[in-house]
Structure 1
Amino acid sequence: MKIQSKRWAKSVAIVLVASTVASCGVLPRSGPNKSEIFAGSVQQSGDAFVVSVNDRVTRATAVQPTLGFSDEFKNAGLVGSDTIRPGDTLGLTIWENVDDGLLAGEGVNQTVLQEVQVDGAGFIFVPYAGRIRAAGNTPEAIRRVITSKLDEQTPDPQVEVRRLAGDGASVSLIGSVGGQGVYPIERPTRTLSTMLANAGGVTIQPEIAQVTVIRGNMRSKVWFQDLFNHPNFDIALRDGDRILVEEDTRAFTALGATGGQARLPFPSPTISAVEALAQVGGLNTNTADPTGVFVMRNEPAEIANQVLGRTDLIGAQRVVYVLDLTQPNGLFMARDFAIRDEDTLYVTEAPFTQWSKVISALTGTLGAVGSVSTAGDTLSGN
C-alpha cells in the first residue's frame, strides 16, 4: 500500500511540472520572435509594412541629412581686418603743402582732428571734404576719399586715418570650442576654419561636430570635417556672425539578441546596419537568429511610396525592414543599408533558444520534484 502511495505521489508531481511549464505561455526572452513581427504586418491586418531589404530598397532609403551653407554664405567675400563700423571713433591728421592752408593756421601745415565719430548711418564729416561714407570701408579707403576731396582745394594734401576706438568687425563663438568668446576678424582669421582654430579648435570628436553660423535672419549648418573636404564651405566671416559648435544629436536604439542593448549616438555622419550592430558588440552568438535582423522606423510618405511601389500613402508610415545575414549577399545588404535617426535595430532569438529554455526549465523543475519526492519518501519512512 505504501509503494502505491509513493508512485502515485511521484506521478502527480510530474504531471504538475509538465502543466506548469505548459501553462507558462511565454518563456523569458528579449522580445517578439519573427512570426510575431510578421503577424503585425499590413498584409496580416497589422499596421506596419514589412519589407525585405534588397538593392532597390537600400537605394531608396539611403537618405541622410545634408548639411551645407547656402549661396548667400558661400558667395560672401572676405572682410578686411580693419573695416570701420558705425560708432567707431577715428583720428585724422591732414598735412597741407602751403603755409596758409584750408584747415591749418598760418605757419602750421598740420591739422589734427581728434575723435571723429562714425554716426549711426555710417558717415563722418570732414571740413571742406563734406560727409564721407566710413562704415564698411577701411581706413585706407577713407584716406583716399578725403585726399581726393581736398586735392581739389589745396595742393598735394596728405591724410592719415586711424581707428581710435571701436572693436571693428567681430564674431562670437560658443559651444564645443576651446575658448568661447568674442573674436575680432583679423587678417589671419577671416574664414570660418581659421577663426575656429583661433578659438582653440573643437573639443568634441571631429566626425560628429556640426558648425552652425547665424548671420542676421539667416542660419546654416555644416559638418566640421566638410570645411576641409569641401573648400567652398570654408566661408568668409561677417561682422556680427554667431558661430555655434555642437555634437550631432542623432541616435538609434539596439534591442534583442545583440551583444548589448542601448540607445547609441551616431559615431559619424552616416552609419550602416553592420556598423550599428558592431556598436553593440554584434549578434549574441548563443541566442541570435541571423535571419531575423529588423530595422523599424517611421518612414516619410515619399520614401515609403517609393519602397513599396505605391503612390497613395500619405503621412509617415511604420515600416519594418528585414535583413537576412545568412543570404549570400546578406552582409553586403546590411553594409549598404543606412541607419537613420530614431531607428530601432532589433535582433530576434533563434528558435533553438526557446527549446533550450524549455529543456532547462523542465530539467531544473524535475530536479526539484525529485528532491520533493525524496523528502516524501523520508517522511513516509522509506
Structure 2
Amino acid sequence: MHHRQKLILAASCFLGACSTLPTSGPTGAQIEAAAVKGGANIDIVTVDDAVALPPAPKLGQWSLPELDPPPSDMVGPGDVISIYIYEAGVPLFGGASIVEAGGDGFDPSVKAQTLPPSRVDDNGDIVLPYAGKLHVVGKTLFEVQGIIQDSLRGFSQDPQVLVTLKEVVNNSIIIGGEVDKPGRLVLQTNQERLSDVLALAGGYRGSAKDLSLRLRRGSRVAELRLSDVLQNPEADVFAYPGDRLTLLQDPWLFSVLGASGRVQQIPFTRSTMSLAEAVAAAGGPNNNYGDPGAIFVFRYEKTEAGEAKPVVYHFNMMRTSTYFLAQKFALHNNDVLYFGSAGANQPSKLIQLISQLFAPIVTVTNAANAFNNN
C-alpha cells in the first residue's frame, strides 16, 4: 500500500476516535446540561449584568452575646487578697502603731496589722481570725472591706480595713496560639477590647487575613476571621473575664480546576478577593484548550432556612462587560474556580496528535521523493 493511502487510512481511524480523545474536563454546555437534567438541584446563574451578582459578603459578627464587663476590682475564685487592719485602743490583732510605722500626724494609739494573704477558694469564701468564713466572691474590693469591717465590730474598737488584690485570677483571660506572649493576661480595666488584648499579648504572628480568632465564653464557642475583627469596630467587642482566646492559622483558599493548565489550591492574596483577581492568580484559561466563555464558580450558598444549596455562577469572558462584573464578584472561602474546555478543541488535539505520530513518516516520504526525482 502506498504511503499516502496509509496516511489517509490512519487519519480516518483517528477521526473515528476523535470523541474519545482526553479532555481536561466538561465543556460549558455539558456543565449546564448536567445541572438541568441531572436532577442534582443545582442552580446555574449566568452573570451577565449587575443584577445577577450575589450580595457582597458582610464583615463577620460574633454569634455570642456581648456582655458588659464587670468592675475590674471584683473578687473571684483564685484571687489572693491582702488585708490591712487599723485599730484604735486595745488592738485585737496587735501590730505596730502608725507613728512607729512612720505615719506622722496619726493617733499614736492606732495600731496597724497586715494579715497573711488570703486566697479566695472555689466557693468564693475566705477565712479570717475571729470573723470566720466570709463569702466575698462577686464583690468589689470596697465591698469586701465593708464585709470584713462589719464582721470585726464586736471584737475590735472601730476597726478600719483596707483590702488590695495581691494576685489576680478572676479578672483575667487566657490567650494562646499565634501570639507573641501566650498565657494569662490580667485585664487592668474593664475597657479592653479584643484588639487591645492582642496588643497586650505582644501582637499576632502572620497576616490577619490568614488567622482565625476563636473565642470561648462560658460554655459557648465562636470563631471569626481576625481581619474582620480588626476592620469592623462592631466585632471588636469588650474582653470579658474568663474568656479563652486562641489565634489559629486558617488561610482562605479557592480551588482551580479544568482547562487552566494547572490544578491547585490558591490562598487569598488579601482579606477580600474578586473573581478577576482569582482568574489572574490561576493564570486564566489555557490558550490551547480552554474556553474563556465558560468560566464557572462552584459554591454552596445558604438559603433563608439556613440550608446549603449548590450554585454555579457562569461568566462569559468573551464579553467585555463581564470583566467589570468579575471585579465586583467577591470570592468565598472554598470556592471552586473552573475553566471549561473548549467545545472545538478536539480537532486541534487530533491535528497535534497526527503531527506527532506521523512526522517521521512524512519526513521519510519527502526524502524518498527527493531521491527519486534526482
**Which TM-score band (shorter chain)?**
0.7 to 0.9
Cα offset, 1:94, TM superposition: 1.3
Cα distance between partner residues in 2 of 1:127 and 1:21: 102
Aligned pairs for 1:174-253 within 5 A: 174-187=176-189, 190-253=192-255
Q: Determine helix, strand or coil for the equivalent of 1:85.
A: coil
The TM-score with structure 1 as length reference comes to: 0.76
Cα distance between partner residues in 2 of 1:123 and 1:303: 49
Q: Determine helix, strand or coil for the equivalent of 2:245.
A: strand
Matched with 2:61 is 68
Cα offset, 1:220, TM superposition: 2.5
Cα distance between partner residues in 1 of 2:333 and 2:230: 25
Matched with 2:9 is 16
Gap change, CA 1:66 and 1:371, over 3 Å in 2: same
Answering whether residue 86 of structure 2 is matched by residue 84 of structure 1, we say: no
Matched with 1:290 is 292
Cα distance between partner residues in 1 of 2:144 and 2:302: 56
Q: Determine helix, strand or coil for the equivalent of 1:334.
A: helix
Q: Which residue identity does 1:360 align to in structure 2? A: Q
Gap change, CA 1:65 and 1:212, over 3 Å in 2: farther
Cα distance between partner residues in 2 of 1:321 and 1:20: 39
1:256 to 230, 255, 258: 258
Which segments of 5 or more consecutive residues in structure 1 lack a partner in the other structure? 1-7, 305-314
Q: Which residue identity does 2:14 align to in structure 1? A: V
1:34 to 28, 33, 37: 28
Cα RMSD (Å): 3.8
Cα offset, 1:276, TM superposition: 1.7
Cα offset, 1:286, TM superposition: 5.0
Cα offset, 1:162, TM superposition: 4.0
Cα offset, 1:89, TM superposition: 4.0
The TM-score with structure 2 as length reference comes to: 0.78
Q: Determine helix, strand or coil for the equivalent of 2:115.
A: strand
Deviations 1:127-176 (A, max 9, x none): 67676443234444423544466679866643232445664533222222
Q: Which residue identity does 1:327 align to in structure 2? A: R
Cα offset, 1:243, TM superposition: 0.6
Percentage of matched positions with identical amino acids: 29
Answering whether residue 347 of structure 2 is matched by residue 345 of structure 1, we say: no
Cα offset, 1:303, TM superposition: 9.2
Gap change, CA 1:303 and 1:345, over 3 Å in 2: farther
Q: Determine helix, strand or coil for the equivalent of 1:39.
A: helix
Answering whether residue 129 of structure 2 is matched by residue 136 of structure 1, we say: no
Gap change, CA 1:69 and 1:316, over 3 Å in 2: closer
Answering whether residue 57 of structure 2 is matched by residue 57 of structure 1, we say: no
8 Å contact from structure 2 (residues 69, 190) kept in 1: no
Cα offset, 1:182, TM superposition: 2.7
Q: Which residue identity does 1:333 align to in structure 2? A: L
Matched with 1:320 is 312
8 Å contact from structure 1 (residues 68, 221) kept in 2: no
Q: Determine helix, strand or coil for the equivalent of 1:25.
A: helix
Cα offset, 1:330, TM superposition: 0.9
Matched with 1:310 is none
Cα distance between partner residues in 2 of 1:362 and 1:108: 110
Cα distance between partner residues in 2 of 1:105 and 1:337: 76
Gap change, CA 1:109 and 1:175, over 3 Å in 2: closer
Cα distance between partner residues in 1 of 2:135 and 2:11: 96
8 Å contact from structure 2 (residues 76, 170) kept in 1: yes
Cα distance between partner residues in 2 of 1:168 and 1:27: 70
Gap change, CA 1:361 and 1:27, over 3 Å in 2: same
Deviations 1:277-296 (A, max 9, x none): 12213344454322111122
Deviations 1:285-344 (A, max 9, x none): 45432211112234455599xxxxxxxxxx755443211123242112222333333332
Cα offset, 1:18, TM superposition: 0.7
Q: Which residue identity does 1:41 align to in structure 2? A: A
Gap change, CA 1:276 and 1:147, over 3 Å in 2: same
Deviations 1:99-142 (A, max 9, x none): x2455499773344324342433233556767644323444442
Matched with 1:93 is 84
Gap change, CA 1:252 and 1:221, over 3 Å in 2: same
